[in-house]
Amino acid sequence: MIDTNVNRRQDSNVKWSVAKNDDQLLPMTVADMDIATPQFIREAMQSVLDQKVLGYTMPSTAFYDAIIRWQKKYHDVSLKRDQLIIVPSIAVGLSFVIRHLTQVNDGIIVMSPYYPPYRRLVVDNQRQFIEFPLIQREGQYVIDLERLDKVMAEGQAKAIIVCNPHNPGGCVWTTAELQRIQDIAYAHHVLVLADEIHDDVAFSDNIPVSMMSDLMGDEASEQTILLKSATKAFNLAGVKCAYLAVKNPKLLAILKQAAEAEAIEEVNTLGLVATRTAYEQGEQWLTEVNAYLEENRNLAYEYLREEVPLIRPMYPEGTYLMWLDFMAYGLTDAELDAKLRTLGHLCLNPGIDYGQTGSGFMRLNFAVDREVLKDALHRLKTFDKAISNK
């Protein structure tokens, strides 16, 4: 049974910290959920605390087995224990892979708009950030595959980050798109860094396909580094546990040696417990929470299209994030953020933070209690009326 009755206002969480000095402000931002972390996971962590000692802990065989079973059952990814490397987070994992599998000044292709830390992870590791704008077709993002081929052919790019489902757009890339990306990358000797942290947030009308799925074939597996975590789907961002999957023996050996040198696999004990428990016991809970999120998505999408047509929502095929086009109001990004706060008492993620292609957009997180979502939607309508009447 899912629990949406949570109050995070007094917590030190990133999302609600913006409202500490403004009781009227409603944040619908950071990509964690205002839905309780499953009770069975909290109980599993409590059983560790009840042992009274938080000492050195190693990942158990059951931990690895839980990952392997889950990835095969839900994502058709066949893995072995020695192909997994544990990391504290996807961001840490990406930085780790970029540092050890590419060279200084190598180009990393990132589809834009993009998850903001991608730029930092590339630039701060002295790599070249190759921003690759997505294009819109019928209100949804698509990948210009012909242009991608040309960019890779130029030779500077040594890796591409593929976020699927896409953050912030909520797109689930089709099997044909993913296979074509793999083909182009193979032709130009480009590594595929597959960030699939959101892929367990899956709706009935669109199931994501993994870049390392058995369906994709051996060549794809050889050039792909898969980055996964249970954190988005089971609301576990704070326990710090993710993992890489690497099938290419040469790349795996490089990363295994580097992991030893950096002690990167020494992760949070409670993260190990939470991840294992999520994958062992979480099927029914996740089915329920995804159904709830799907209803939230449908409610928000239809409400905006009917009640606030100047705000154009992109249809989220995955994730609990909705990408909203505010360009019809003719506001700068700074003005848009300020007026949403002052007129609607609503805080969203500014699209400009996701790259220049995000200018004029805002990102809304709908992983909240449905009444809170309705409140947020009404605030958007209030904002719209206030702007339109001026």
Find the mean pLDDT for residues 43-54. Answer: 96
Find the mean pLDDT for residues 76-100. Answer: 98
Asked whether the predicted pLDDT for residue 8 surpasses 90, the reply is no
Strand pairing of 321-325 and 346-347?
unpaired
What local confidence, expressed as pLDDT, does residue 92 receive?
98
Res. 97 pLDDT band, cuts 50 70 90 = very high
Give the bridge partners for 193, in sequence order: 161, 225
| DSSP notation for 291-310 | HHHHHHHHHHHHHHHHH-TT
H-assigned helices in the chain: 39-49, 61-75, 90-101, 117-123, 145-153, 175-187, 218-223, 231-234, 249-262, 269-281, 283-307, 333-343, 370-388
- Cβ atoms of 198 and 242 closer than 8 Å: no
Asked whether the predicted pLDDT for residue 21 surpasses 80, the reply is no
pLDDT (tens digit, 9 = 90+) per residue, 197-251? 999 999 998 999 999 999 999 999 999 999 999 999 999 999 999 999 999 999 9
Higher pLDDT, 10 or 278: 278
Q: 201 CB contacts (<8 Å, ≥6 apart)?
A: 165, 232, 233, 290, 293, 318, 319, 320
d(CA 67, CA 282): 12
What local confidence, expressed as pLDDT, does residue 1 receive?
81
Find the mean pLDDT for residues 77-85. Answer: 98
Check the CA dihedral 53-93-320-327 and report its sign: positive
What local confidence, expressed as pLDDT, does residue 17 receive?
77
Asked whether the predicted pLDDT for residue 90 surpasses 70, the reply is yes
CATH number for the region 16-39+284-388 comes to 3.90.1150.10
CATH number for the region 57-280 comes to 3.40.640.10
Check the CA dihedral 44-48-54-56 and report its sign: negative
Give the bridge partners for 365, in sequence order: 321
Residue ranges of the domains in the chain? 16-39+284-388, 57-280
Res. 13 pLDDT band, cuts 50 70 90 = confident
Give the bridge partners for 129, in sequence order: 108
Percentage of residues of the chain with pLDDT beyond 90: 93
Percentage of residues of the chain with pLDDT beyond 70: 99
Res. 262 pLDDT band, cuts 50 70 90 = very high
Res. 38 pLDDT band, cuts 50 70 90 = very high
Res. 19 pLDDT band, cuts 50 70 90 = low
In 3-state terms, what secondary structure has residue 278?
helix
Find the mean pLDDT for residues 355-372. Answer: 97
pLDDT (tens digit, 9 = 90+) per residue, 145-160? 999 999 999 999 999 9
What local confidence, expressed as pLDDT, does residue 9 receive?
78
What local confidence, expressed as pLDDT, does residue 308 receive?
98
Higher pLDDT, 27 or 19: 27
What local confidence, expressed as pLDDT, does residue 26 receive?
94
Find the mean pLDDT for residues 327-331. Answer: 97
What local confidence, expressed as pLDDT, does residue 361 receive?
98
What local confidence, expressed as pLDDT, does residue 20 receive?
66
